[in-house]
Amino acid sequence: MERRPFLQKLGILTTSTMTLPFYLFGKMQLPKETKFKFITASDGHFGQPNTDFEKSHQNLIQAINKEKNVDFVVFNGDLIHDEPSLMPEVKKVYDQVQHPYFVTKGNHDRVDEETWNQIWNQPSNFSKIHGDDLGMVLLNCSNPKGDYLCADLDFAKQTLDEFSSLPHVMVFIHISQNDWTRHGVSCQGFMDLIASYPNVRATFHGHDHDVDGVMLYQKKPFLWSGHFGGSWGNPFPSYRVCEIGADGSAATYLKRVSDGVILNGYTL
């Protein structure tokens, strides 16, 4: 089966569907003075048979460690490929990152909540305030069977309420909570919840290996980062960088793992 997303809405922007990969780059304005900088990457699929998963992980780690002034990294799901015994092994790899990092659970991360907590020392639904101004919300969207699930709305709402006075909130969830790609799920309650908080600047997804652009819902940006591992998807492994300025401006851009070239960018 060809695993290319069916783009139900023509508004989705991705380098794999654009004639010129720098089309979005011209619309991006980087902050003049960066206050926060973070990286998100997804879908490493550590341990997937017939893939050079060790090399793809080392390539990403080396690229991330070359980045300067990074506040944190989020590995946004599908850390492993189904086999629970791989989870402690991929943690050893992630521990080579020279910046603080956090993880979200994807549909291939088939471990129970207790095991997840023991390995990562954080629950699968997790939140943290960084530097008094930036709220991170990391949400689970699957279970040990690998089902595609909607986020826990009670946890999400409680956290977003607690973060309502912050100037910036970023949400990370592996599976798109809208069916605008073939592998997304329809979770209208989540979409409306995100749209109701003015300080939510962006939501970041993984899961769709061949989607690396942005989609808007009620003017809220939802962004993908392609993939850096696995057996399918865009031909260029990638990761996403986001910078927030001291003046409140923010921009995000996709970088190719192999050489750090910016493939697309978007002003938040």
Beta-sheet strand order (sheet of 168-173) = 126-130, 134-139, 168-173, 200-205, 220-224, 214-217
Q: What percent of the chain has pLDDT over 70?
A: 90
How far apart (Å, rounded) are the C-alpha atoms in residues 213 and 193?
22
pLDDT tens digits along 73-109: 999 999 999 999 999 999 999 999 999 999 999 999 9
The rounded distance, in Å, linking the Cα atoms of 215 and 222 is 5
For residue 209, the domain's CATH number is 3.60.21.10
Has residue 146 been placed in a domain?
yes
For residue 1, is pLDDT > 90?
A: no
Select the more confidently predicted residue: 161 or 26: 161
Question: Does 135 fall in a domain?
Answer: yes
**Residue 186 placed within a domain:** yes
Give the pLDDT score at 122: 97
Is residue 8 situated within a structural domain?
A: no
| pLDDT > 90: percent of the chain | 89
Q: Is residue 241, in this structure, part of any structural domain at all?
A: yes
237 pLDDT more than 90? yes
> Does the pLDDT of residue 130 top 60, yes or no?
yes
What is the mean pLDDT of the segment spanning 194-213? 97
pLDDT band at 163 (very low <50, low <70, confident <90, very high): very high
Cα dist from 54 to 28, 38, 49, 68, 117, whole Å: 33, 23, 11, 24, 24
Q: What mean pLDDT do residues 225-251 have? A: 97
pLDDT for position 27: 67
Establish if 142 belongs to a structural domain: yes
Whole-number Å distance between alpha carbons of 180 and 1? 19
Q: Which of 15-19, 61-65, 115-119, 136-140 has the lowest mean pLDDT?
A: 15-19
Mean pLDDT in the chain? 92
Position 1 in a domain = no
Phi, psi of 206 (to 5 degrees): -125, -135
186 SS3 class: coil
pLDDT at 14 over 80: no
- Does residue 21 or residue 169 have the better pLDDT? 169
pLDDT tier, 28 (very low <50, low <70, confident <90, very high otherwise)? confident
Question: Does residue 215 contact residue 15 with C-beta atoms inside 8 Å?
Answer: no
Residue 7 lies in a domain: no
Q: Tell me: the pLDDT tens digits for 32-72?
A: 999 999 999 999 999 999 999 999 999 999 999 999 999 99
Q: Is the pLDDT reported for residue 18 higher than 80?
A: no
More confident residue, 13 or 193: 193
Overall number of domains in the chain:
1
Give the domain extent around 54: 17-267
